[in-house]
């Protein structure tokens, strides 16, 4: 492999890792884990849309006083 190819491969790995960390920090990966978990348990189960899942997640978080609440 040439030096440029090695650099490109290293950069691609770093960008992929950065994207994975960013998705975890922003909560974007939560939906993907939910879908994978639901499909693993029952391949024919109905999966919530991303919008419905996020609504459910926010409602659940706001209903639990230990998680804090939104005042406004």
- Terminal-residue alpha carbon distance, the chain: 57
- Domain positions in the chain are 3-67
Task: Name the pLDDT band for 71 (thresholds 50, 70, 90).
Answer: low
Q: Global pTM? A: 0.65
Structure tokens at 34: 């939910």
DSSP string, 6-69: HHHHHHHHHHHHHHHHHHHHHTHHHHHHHHHHHHHH-TTS----HHHHHHHHHHHHHH-GGG--
Q: Tens digit of pLDDT for each residue in 15-65?
A: 999 999 999 998 889 999 999 999 999 999 999 999 999 999 988 888 877
pLDDT category at 69 given cuts 50, 70, 90 is: low
Nearest-angstrom CA–CA distance, 35 and 9: 30
């Amino acid at each position: 492999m040439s030096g440029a190819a090695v650099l490109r491969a290293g950069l691609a790995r770093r960008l992929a890792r950065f994207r994975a960390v960013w998705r975890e920090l922003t909560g974007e990966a939560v939906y993907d884990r939910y879908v994978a978990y639901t499909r693993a348990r029952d391949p024919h189960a109905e999966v919530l849309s991303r919008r419905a899942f996020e609504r459910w997640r926010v409602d659940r978080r706001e209903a639990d006083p230990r998680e804090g609440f939104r005042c406004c």
